[in-house]
Amino acid sequence: MIHTILFNKSALCFNQFGVSFFNETTGAYAFSFSSSTKLPAKLIVFDVKWHVKPQKGDHIKWLYDGTGSYQDVYHVSMLAQDIYMINCEDIDDSYDDKAA
């Protein structure tokens, strides 16, 4: 499942230490993830693997404990933070078919 995060500044990262994805609705953590986004970038796309696929409306958190290598383009380390996301996959877009 693809999760996309927009940071307020361009970010650099040399490893994913300290990062996890957590489904706050179900209490489950993702078991793996990767990103092929070319850095630095403000928008980072993650391919996240879940044992149970999050459902529409689930509250997903990107968790960072500050121990990894995330930093801004000025090489200022990113502090620990949580970024909340709402899972929007599978939202009914049938109105698009009617507009054509």
Q: Structural domains in the chain? A: 2-99 (2.60.40)
Q: What percent of the chain has pLDDT over 70?
A: 85
Strands in the chain per DSSP E: 2-12, 19-23, 28-29, 32-34, 41-49, 59-64, 71-72, 81-86
Residue 33 has φ and ψ, to the nearest 5°, of -160, 160
Strands 71-72 and 81-86: unpaired
State the pLDDT at residue 93. 45
pLDDT range class, residue 10, cuts 50, 70, 90: very high
End-to-end CA distance of the chain: 28
Instruction: Give residue-wise pLDDT tens across range 22-70.
Output: 999 999 999 999 998 999 999 999 999 999 999 888 889 999 999 999 9
Nearest to 76 by CA among 84, 85, 66: 66
Alpha helices in the chain (DSSP H): 94-99
